[in-house]
Amino acid sequence: MRASRIGLSFWSGVLLTLTLLISNGCQSAALPEPEAPRARELSEPALVAAAGTKSTTHYEALANSALLENRPTAETIRSLKDELLFQRATQVYLWAMPLLNVLGMKTGSEKLFNSGYNILPVWKKRFDAKTLVTTPNSDVIDAMSYLDVGKDGPLVFEAAVGLQAILLDFWQRPLPGPPAPGKDYRGDVGFFGPDQGRGGKFLILPPGYKDRVPEGYFVFRSPTNNVFVFLRSFYKDPKDLAPAVALMESVKIYPLRAKVSAKPMQFPDASGSSVNLLPPSDGSAFELLKQFVDSEGPDFADADWRGMLATLGIVKGQPFAPDAHTRTLLDLAARTAHKASRVLGLEENISGVSYKIYPDRHWLNPMASGKPDTFDLSWNRIPDGYLSLDARVNYFTNFHFLSPGSAFPVAGKGAKYMVTSVDSEGVPLSGAANYRIKLPPDVPAANFWSLTLYEAENSSGLANGKPFPALGSR
């Protein structure tokens, strides 16, 4: 029996998604019978006591590390060096959560579908639980692309009328777009973008690009060489997905100065593929970070965090060859940090901000309060200006992509999301229980609303024995 989460989404004018993190086997009118609970080896109080005792002993041992003539002993040197490596690696993992989220998607996608600006996997039959990815949506047609404007130079992204997309750097910050009076375009293509849903040509420029920019493009500048493109199209009838798929297959991506000689677009069908697009939860996370560092310039992070990476042996252009002992510690650190991210991912209050939508219920807004005076789109706390690491971890352990169009519910254009992992009494959702959710009539979603179940372990779609882990208005 596994735990899960529920999510409810509305696109204001477009979609509503209600998300539930709930145990596998969660039962509703449309879900299978729950599994019988498995016996526990220890009661919950005993587990807490055991964990508390072990942690206290560990920290006391560090604080009381032996000295000989006021100098660390050989054993103290060994143990504290290991502790430094473990702690630094754990913090690097949490700091890099947005990177690891998209690097996991890129690695899994390219392993199965190949790489390149011309490769655009499309979930042509909708997302099902076979694709492991954070909070997929089964009520739309999605696609994802991974570009390298450092290697390929400026790239053009052609979007047809009605296509929705988000252009992000690999920190999953929406790319700064073209200036306009009273507008601050950030990453959005479509209803919320500078094209206003009419489509067009979008030019993605690499960091520090200073050459002349040609006319006729919506220009977006990326702070990183690596660019993540998230795409979405909507169908009217779930029995006829062809128009929405055709819209995806109309996309063109090519180098600015090589349209004629560009590689032909490929649109592999990703539906039904057993592909793992989740953030790595073991020592391979640091291998991916090394690959990322090698593909970027010096400004992918500030000097302090590049220094933290260097303490782990991750330096651009230098070999990353940890010995067996170090690899073991890095693996343990990644596994610990991943679990810590899941702890933060279930919090209802972070950095002094309540995520609750209603004070008497447990429905949360995954973008914090959804107000512009809490966090900006880079998760900097407003008005203080510091980076809220915990808020960023909370989001990217559960979700991928972020933009004004997804964060702020604007009638006729934006989206509205609500998530919970507990019932009305605050008890974690479990597949051993039955639940009932009451929605009011005439849900105000011009396009559709949906209720989706996600696995609490990693926020991927819940394998509930149904074709899709979702119910909704279509």
**What are 241-254's pLDDT values in tens digits?**
999 999 999 999 99
At 442 the pLDDT is 85
Q: How many CA atoms lie within 13 A of 293 on its CB side?
A: 24
Domains annotated on the chain, with CATH: 116-255 (2.60.40.1610)
Which positions ≥6 away from 272 have C-beta within 8 Å?
125, 128, 130
At 15 the pLDDT is 39
Which positions ≥6 away from 159 have C-beta within 8 Å?
165, 189, 190, 195, 199, 200, 202, 251
Distance CA 461, CA 274 (A): 12
Which positions ≥6 away from 239 have C-beta within 8 Å?
none
Which residues of the chain, if any, have pLDDT below 50? Answer: 10-16, 25-51
Which amino acid is it at 23? S
Distance CA 99, CA 116 (A): 19
Q: Which one, of 37, 33, 98, 378, lies nearest residue 106 by Cα?
A: 98
Distance CA 20, CA 147 (A): 32
Q: How many CA atoms lie within 13 A of 277 on its CB side?
A: 31
Q: What is the pLDDT of residues 325-350, one digit of tens each?
A: 999 999 999 999 999 999 999 999 98
Instruction: Report the 10 Å Cβ neighbour count for 72.
Output: 15
- Which residues make beta-bridge pairs with 350? 353
Q: Do 334 and 280 touch, CB atoms closer than 8 A?
A: yes
Q: How many CA atoms lie within 13 A of 274 on its CB side?
A: 1
Q: Sign of the C-alpha dihedral, residues 209, 210, 216, 219?
A: positive
Distance CA 3, CA 263 (A): 44
Q: What is the 3-state secondary structure (H, E, C) of the chain?
A: CCEEEEEEEECCCCEEEEEEEECCCCECCCCCCCCCCCCCCCCHHHHHHHHHHHHHHHHHHHHCCCEECCEECHHHHHHHHHHHHHHHHHHHHHHCHHHHHHHHHHHHHHHHHCCCCCECCECCCCCCCCCECCCCCCCCEEEEEEEEHHHHCCEEEEECCCCEEEEEECCCCECEEEEECCEEEECEECCCCCCCCCCEEEEEECCCCCCCCCCCCEEEECCCCEEEEEEEECCCECCECHHHHHHHCCCEEEECCCCCCCCCCECCECCCCCCECCCCCCCHHHHHHHHHHHHCCHHHCCHHHHHHHHHCCCCCCCCCCCCHHHHHHHHHHHHHHHHHHHHHCCCCEECCEECECCCCCCCECCCCCCCCCCECCCCEECCCCCECHHHHHHHHCCCCCCCHHHHCCCCCCCEEEEEECECCCCCECECCCECCCCCCCCCCCCCEEEEEEEECCCCCECCCCCCCCEEECC
Q: Do 87 and 79 touch, CB atoms closer than 8 A?
A: no
